[in-house]
Structure 1
Amino acid sequence: MKIGIGSDHNAFHMKESLKEFIKELGHEIYDYGCTDSCSEVDYPEIAFQVAGDINEKKLDRGILICGTGIGVAIAAGKVPGIRAALCHDTYSAERAQKSNNAQILTMGAKVIGIEPAKQIVKVYLESEFPGGNSARKVQQITDKEKEFLKGASSLT
Protein backbone atom coordinates (compact mmCIF):
# COMPACT_ATOMS: atom_id res chain seq x y z
CA MET A 1 0.00 0.00 0.00
CA LYS A 2 0.96 3.63 -0.42
CA ILE A 3 1.12 5.13 3.06
CA GLY A 4 1.41 8.83 3.78
CA ILE A 5 2.97 9.63 7.13
CA GLY A 6 3.16 13.09 8.60
CA SER A 7 4.00 14.77 11.85
CA ASP A 8 4.67 18.05 13.51
CA HIS A 9 7.90 18.73 15.42
CA ASN A 10 6.55 17.03 18.56
CA ALA A 11 6.38 13.69 16.77
CA PHE A 12 9.33 13.90 14.39
CA HIS A 13 11.32 11.09 16.03
CA MET A 14 8.32 8.77 16.13
CA LYS A 15 7.58 9.50 12.47
CA GLU A 16 11.15 8.66 11.48
CA SER A 17 11.05 5.35 13.40
CA LEU A 18 7.68 4.41 11.96
CA LYS A 19 8.80 5.18 8.41
CA GLU A 20 11.45 2.48 8.58
CA PHE A 21 9.10 0.03 10.28
CA ILE A 22 6.38 0.54 7.65
CA LYS A 23 8.92 -0.01 4.87
CA GLU A 24 9.92 -3.28 6.58
CA LEU A 25 6.25 -4.30 6.44
CA GLY A 26 6.45 -3.91 2.66
CA HIS A 27 4.62 -0.62 2.11
CA GLU A 28 5.60 2.49 0.16
CA ILE A 29 6.13 5.56 2.33
CA TYR A 30 5.37 9.16 1.44
CA ASP A 31 6.70 11.61 4.02
CA TYR A 32 4.75 14.73 4.94
CA GLY A 33 5.62 17.34 7.48
CA CYS A 34 8.63 18.42 9.37
CA THR A 35 12.19 17.44 8.60
CA ASP A 36 13.63 17.89 12.10
CA SER A 37 12.53 18.12 15.72
CA CYS A 38 13.78 21.68 16.23
CA SER A 39 11.76 23.75 13.76
CA GLU A 40 8.20 24.33 14.93
CA VAL A 41 5.71 23.04 12.38
CA ASP A 42 1.93 23.48 12.56
CA TYR A 43 0.10 20.19 12.10
CA PRO A 44 -3.12 21.31 10.33
CA GLU A 45 -1.54 21.81 6.92
CA ILE A 46 0.19 18.43 7.14
CA ALA A 47 -3.10 16.73 8.02
CA PHE A 48 -4.88 18.52 5.16
CA GLN A 49 -2.19 17.41 2.68
CA VAL A 50 -2.35 13.74 3.68
CA ALA A 51 -6.16 13.75 3.72
CA GLY A 52 -6.29 15.50 0.35
CA ASP A 53 -3.92 13.00 -1.21
CA ILE A 54 -6.06 10.15 0.09
CA ASN A 55 -9.12 11.74 -1.50
CA GLU A 56 -7.19 12.12 -4.76
CA LYS A 57 -6.21 8.41 -4.58
CA LYS A 58 -2.49 9.26 -4.39
CA LEU A 59 -2.35 7.37 -1.07
CA ASP A 60 -4.14 4.29 0.21
CA ARG A 61 -3.96 5.27 3.89
CA GLY A 62 -2.38 7.84 6.17
CA ILE A 63 -0.72 7.97 9.55
CA LEU A 64 -0.57 11.32 11.33
CA ILE A 65 1.24 12.02 14.57
CA CYS A 66 1.41 15.08 16.80
CA GLY A 67 1.88 15.45 20.54
CA THR A 68 -1.48 13.92 21.47
CA GLY A 69 -2.89 12.78 18.12
CA ILE A 70 -5.99 14.86 18.79
CA GLY A 71 -5.11 17.89 16.68
CA VAL A 72 -4.22 15.91 13.58
CA ALA A 73 -7.39 13.81 13.94
CA ILE A 74 -9.55 16.94 14.12
CA ALA A 75 -7.75 18.61 11.20
CA ALA A 76 -7.83 15.56 8.92
CA GLY A 77 -11.49 14.99 9.76
CA LYS A 78 -12.34 18.44 8.39
CA VAL A 79 -11.50 17.24 4.89
CA PRO A 80 -14.73 15.97 3.31
CA GLY A 81 -14.78 12.21 2.89
CA ILE A 82 -12.04 11.53 5.43
CA ARG A 83 -12.44 9.40 8.53
CA ALA A 84 -9.48 9.80 10.89
CA ALA A 85 -9.24 7.66 14.03
CA LEU A 86 -7.18 8.46 17.12
CA CYS A 87 -5.83 5.15 18.42
CA HIS A 88 -3.46 4.41 21.27
CA ASP A 89 -4.05 0.65 21.44
CA THR A 90 -4.19 -2.20 18.94
CA TYR A 91 -7.87 -3.02 19.47
CA SER A 92 -8.92 0.54 18.57
CA ALA A 93 -6.62 0.47 15.53
CA GLU A 94 -8.19 -2.75 14.31
CA ARG A 95 -11.72 -1.44 14.87
CA ALA A 96 -10.86 1.89 13.19
CA GLN A 97 -10.47 -0.05 9.97
CA LYS A 98 -12.89 -2.96 10.44
CA SER A 99 -15.79 -0.93 11.84
CA ASN A 100 -15.20 2.57 10.48
CA ASN A 101 -13.10 2.18 7.33
CA ALA A 102 -10.83 4.95 8.65
CA GLN A 103 -8.37 6.05 6.01
CA ILE A 104 -6.15 7.79 8.57
CA LEU A 105 -4.72 6.57 11.86
CA THR A 106 -3.62 9.25 14.31
CA MET A 107 -1.45 8.87 17.39
CA GLY A 108 0.20 11.00 20.04
CA ALA A 109 3.97 10.84 20.42
CA LYS A 110 3.71 12.25 23.94
CA VAL A 111 1.08 9.66 24.86
CA ILE A 112 2.60 6.36 23.69
CA GLY A 113 6.07 5.06 22.97
CA ILE A 114 7.55 3.95 19.69
CA GLU A 115 7.19 0.19 20.29
CA PRO A 116 3.45 0.37 21.06
CA ALA A 117 3.05 2.73 18.09
CA LYS A 118 4.67 0.14 15.81
CA GLN A 119 2.23 -2.53 16.94
CA ILE A 120 -0.72 -0.16 16.49
CA VAL A 121 0.43 0.70 12.96
CA LYS A 122 0.97 -2.97 12.12
CA VAL A 123 -2.53 -3.95 13.24
CA TYR A 124 -4.09 -0.97 11.46
CA LEU A 125 -2.32 -1.73 8.17
CA GLU A 126 -3.17 -5.44 8.37
CA SER A 127 -6.88 -4.78 9.02
CA GLU A 128 -9.38 -4.55 6.18
CA PHE A 129 -12.88 -3.12 6.05
CA PRO A 130 -15.31 -6.05 5.64
CA GLY A 131 -18.42 -4.03 4.84
CA GLY A 132 -21.57 -5.68 6.20
CA ASN A 133 -23.37 -3.84 9.01
CA SER A 134 -20.46 -1.45 9.33
CA ALA A 135 -20.85 -0.33 5.71
CA ARG A 136 -24.36 0.86 6.47
CA LYS A 137 -23.10 2.95 9.40
CA VAL A 138 -20.21 4.43 7.44
CA GLN A 139 -22.66 5.32 4.67
CA GLN A 140 -24.86 7.14 7.19
CA ILE A 141 -21.86 9.24 8.20
CA THR A 142 -21.03 9.95 4.55
CA ASP A 143 -24.62 10.90 3.78
CA LYS A 144 -24.80 13.31 6.72
CA GLU A 145 -21.51 14.88 5.72
CA LYS A 146 -22.83 15.47 2.20
CA GLU A 147 -26.02 16.98 3.65
CA PHE A 148 -23.99 19.39 5.80
CA LEU A 149 -21.76 20.32 2.87
CA LYS A 150 -24.75 21.00 0.66
CA GLY A 151 -26.24 23.24 3.36
CA ALA A 152 -22.93 25.04 3.83
CA SER A 153 -22.66 25.88 0.13
CA SER A 154 -26.10 27.50 0.19
CA LEU A 155 -24.93 29.83 2.98
CA THR A 156 -22.25 31.47 0.85
Structure 2
Amino acid sequence: MHIAITCDHNGVALKARLVAWLGDHGHDVDDRAPHVGAEVVDYPPLCIDVCRQVLDGSADRAIVVGGSGQGEAIACNKIRGIRAGLCQDLFSTRISRANNDSNVLVLGAKIVAPELAEQIVATWLDTPFTGGLHQRRLDQIAALERGADS
Protein backbone atom coordinates (compact mmCIF):
# COMPACT_ATOMS: atom_id res chain seq x y z
CA MET A 1 0.00 0.00 0.00
CA HIS A 2 1.23 3.53 -0.75
CA ILE A 3 1.04 5.66 2.41
CA ALA A 4 1.63 9.42 2.60
CA ILE A 5 2.75 10.49 6.07
CA THR A 6 3.43 13.82 7.75
CA CYS A 7 3.85 15.35 11.19
CA ASP A 8 4.23 18.61 12.99
CA HIS A 9 7.06 19.35 15.42
CA ASN A 10 5.41 17.21 18.13
CA GLY A 11 5.32 14.10 15.98
CA VAL A 12 8.83 13.96 14.53
CA ALA A 13 10.11 10.97 16.54
CA LEU A 14 6.91 8.93 16.23
CA LYS A 15 6.61 9.68 12.52
CA ALA A 16 10.20 8.53 11.94
CA ARG A 17 9.49 5.30 13.79
CA LEU A 18 6.31 4.71 11.77
CA VAL A 19 8.08 5.40 8.47
CA ALA A 20 10.60 2.67 9.33
CA TRP A 21 7.86 0.31 10.57
CA LEU A 22 5.77 0.80 7.43
CA GLY A 23 8.77 0.18 5.20
CA ASP A 24 9.68 -2.95 7.15
CA HIS A 25 6.15 -4.21 6.59
CA GLY A 26 6.29 -3.78 2.81
CA HIS A 27 4.51 -0.46 2.38
CA ASP A 28 5.63 2.27 0.02
CA VAL A 29 5.97 5.38 2.20
CA ASP A 30 5.93 8.98 0.99
CA ASP A 31 7.35 10.99 3.91
CA ARG A 32 5.93 14.45 3.28
CA ALA A 33 6.87 15.96 6.63
CA PRO A 34 9.17 18.94 6.74
CA HIS A 35 12.50 18.31 8.38
CA VAL A 36 11.83 19.88 11.73
CA GLY A 37 13.61 19.97 15.01
CA ALA A 38 12.59 22.36 17.74
CA GLU A 39 10.98 24.72 15.23
CA VAL A 40 7.20 25.01 15.53
CA VAL A 41 5.37 23.92 12.39
CA ASP A 42 1.73 24.70 11.61
CA TYR A 43 -0.20 21.53 10.85
CA PRO A 44 -3.06 22.67 8.55
CA PRO A 45 -0.87 22.91 5.42
CA LEU A 46 0.64 19.52 6.25
CA CYS A 47 -2.83 18.01 6.54
CA ILE A 48 -3.92 19.54 3.24
CA ASP A 49 -0.85 18.11 1.54
CA VAL A 50 -1.31 14.47 2.56
CA CYS A 51 -5.08 14.62 2.11
CA ARG A 52 -4.60 15.83 -1.46
CA GLN A 53 -2.31 12.84 -2.01
CA VAL A 54 -5.19 10.56 -1.01
CA LEU A 55 -7.81 12.40 -3.02
CA ASP A 56 -5.78 12.50 -6.24
CA GLY A 57 -4.81 8.83 -5.91
CA SER A 58 -1.10 9.43 -5.35
CA ALA A 59 -1.50 7.65 -2.01
CA ASP A 60 -3.90 4.94 -0.94
CA ARG A 61 -4.12 6.39 2.57
CA ALA A 62 -2.39 8.94 4.77
CA ILE A 63 -1.14 9.21 8.34
CA VAL A 64 -0.80 12.49 10.25
CA VAL A 65 1.05 12.70 13.58
CA GLY A 66 0.59 15.68 15.88
CA GLY A 67 0.80 16.34 19.60
CA SER A 68 -2.75 15.39 20.58
CA GLY A 69 -4.01 14.88 17.03
CA GLN A 70 -7.15 16.88 17.77
CA GLY A 71 -6.39 19.84 15.53
CA GLU A 72 -5.04 17.63 12.77
CA ALA A 73 -8.24 15.56 12.75
CA ILE A 74 -10.34 18.70 12.56
CA ALA A 75 -8.23 20.12 9.72
CA CYS A 76 -8.27 16.88 7.71
CA ASN A 77 -12.02 16.47 8.10
CA LYS A 78 -12.63 19.93 6.62
CA ILE A 79 -11.46 18.56 3.27
CA ARG A 80 -14.22 17.09 1.13
CA GLY A 81 -13.77 13.37 0.64
CA ILE A 82 -11.49 12.88 3.62
CA ARG A 83 -12.56 10.74 6.53
CA ALA A 84 -9.88 11.15 9.18
CA GLY A 85 -10.01 9.02 12.29
CA LEU A 86 -8.26 10.16 15.46
CA CYS A 87 -7.25 6.84 16.97
CA GLN A 88 -5.87 6.34 20.46
CA ASP A 89 -6.78 2.70 21.00
CA LEU A 90 -7.43 -0.41 18.94
CA PHE A 91 -11.22 -0.30 19.31
CA SER A 92 -11.57 3.20 17.84
CA THR A 93 -9.09 2.22 15.14
CA ARG A 94 -11.16 -0.78 14.05
CA ILE A 95 -14.33 1.34 14.03
CA SER A 96 -12.66 4.10 12.03
CA ARG A 97 -11.98 1.61 9.24
CA ALA A 98 -14.78 -0.95 9.50
CA ASN A 99 -17.63 1.51 10.00
CA ASN A 100 -16.29 4.83 8.72
CA ASP A 101 -13.88 3.75 5.96
CA SER A 102 -11.31 6.27 7.21
CA ASN A 103 -8.71 7.16 4.61
CA VAL A 104 -6.54 9.22 6.97
CA LEU A 105 -5.24 8.08 10.35
CA VAL A 106 -4.43 10.76 12.91
CA LEU A 107 -2.25 9.97 15.91
CA GLY A 108 -1.29 12.03 18.95
CA ALA A 109 2.39 11.53 19.79
CA LYS A 110 1.86 12.94 23.29
CA ILE A 111 -0.94 10.45 23.92
CA VAL A 112 -0.10 7.20 22.15
CA ALA A 113 3.03 5.23 23.08
CA PRO A 114 5.20 4.21 20.11
CA GLU A 115 4.47 0.48 20.50
CA LEU A 116 0.74 1.13 20.60
CA ALA A 117 1.04 3.46 17.60
CA GLU A 118 2.52 0.58 15.60
CA GLN A 119 -0.37 -1.68 16.67
CA ILE A 120 -2.85 1.05 15.72
CA VAL A 121 -1.28 1.46 12.28
CA ALA A 122 -1.29 -2.32 11.71
CA THR A 123 -4.95 -2.55 12.75
CA TRP A 124 -5.90 0.44 10.62
CA LEU A 125 -4.18 -0.98 7.54
CA ASP A 126 -5.60 -4.48 8.01
CA THR A 127 -9.22 -3.66 8.87
CA PRO A 128 -11.55 -3.65 5.85
CA PHE A 129 -14.60 -1.43 5.44
CA THR A 130 -17.71 -3.52 6.11
CA GLY A 131 -20.09 -1.53 3.90
CA GLY A 132 -23.79 -2.27 4.30
CA LEU A 133 -25.60 0.20 6.54
CA HIS A 134 -22.27 1.97 7.08
CA GLN A 135 -22.16 2.88 3.37
CA ARG A 136 -25.55 4.54 3.75
CA ARG A 137 -24.10 6.68 6.53
CA LEU A 138 -21.04 7.57 4.46
CA ASP A 139 -23.39 8.63 1.67
CA GLN A 140 -25.16 10.89 4.17
CA ILE A 141 -21.83 12.39 5.24
CA ALA A 142 -20.94 13.01 1.59
CA ALA A 143 -24.27 14.81 1.19
CA LEU A 144 -23.37 17.04 4.13
CA GLU A 145 -20.09 17.87 2.42
CA ARG A 146 -22.05 18.93 -0.66
CA GLY A 147 -24.13 21.28 1.49
CA ALA A 148 -27.23 19.17 2.03
CA ASP A 149 -28.55 19.39 5.57
CA SER A 150 -31.11 16.63 5.52
Q: TM-score, normalised by structure 1?
A: 0.91
Distance 1:115 1:34 in 2: 24
Structure 1 or 2: larger helix share?
1
SS in 1 for 2:147: helix
SS in 1 for 2:3: strand
Contact 1:90 1:120 in 2 (8 A): yes
Map 1:4-83; keep pairs closer than 5 Å. Answer: 4-83=4-83
| Paired residue type of 1:135 | Q
Residues paired across the two proteins, number: 148
TM-superposed CA distance for 1:50, in Å, is: 0.6
| Paired residue type of 2:22 | I
Distance 1:11 1:126 in 2: 23
Map 1:79-94; keep pairs closer than 5 Å. Answer: 79-94=79-94
SS in 2 for 1:5: strand
Q: TM-score, normalised by structure 2?
A: 0.95
Map 1:71-150; keep pairs closer than 5 Å. Answer: 71-147=71-147
TM-superposed CA distance for 1:62, in Å, is: 0.7
SS in 2 for 1:3: strand
**Over residues 54-74 of structure 1, what are the superposed CA-to-partner deviations in whole Å (9 max), with x where a residue is unaligned?**
110111111101000111111
SS in 2 for 1:147: coil
| Shift >4 Å, 4+ stretches | none
Distance 1:32 1:9 in 2: 13
Distance 1:44 1:25 in 2: 28
TM-superposed CA distance for 1:125, in Å, is: 0.5
Q: Percent identity?
A: 35
Partner residue, 1:152:
none
Q: Structure 1, unaligned stretches of length 5 or more? A: 149-156
Distance 1:57 1:127 in 2: 20
TM-superposed CA distance for 1:37, in Å, is: 2.6
SS in 2 for 1:121: helix
Distance 2:36 2:145 in 1: 36
| Paired residue type of 1:31 | D
TM-superposed CA distance for 1:143, in Å, is: 1.2
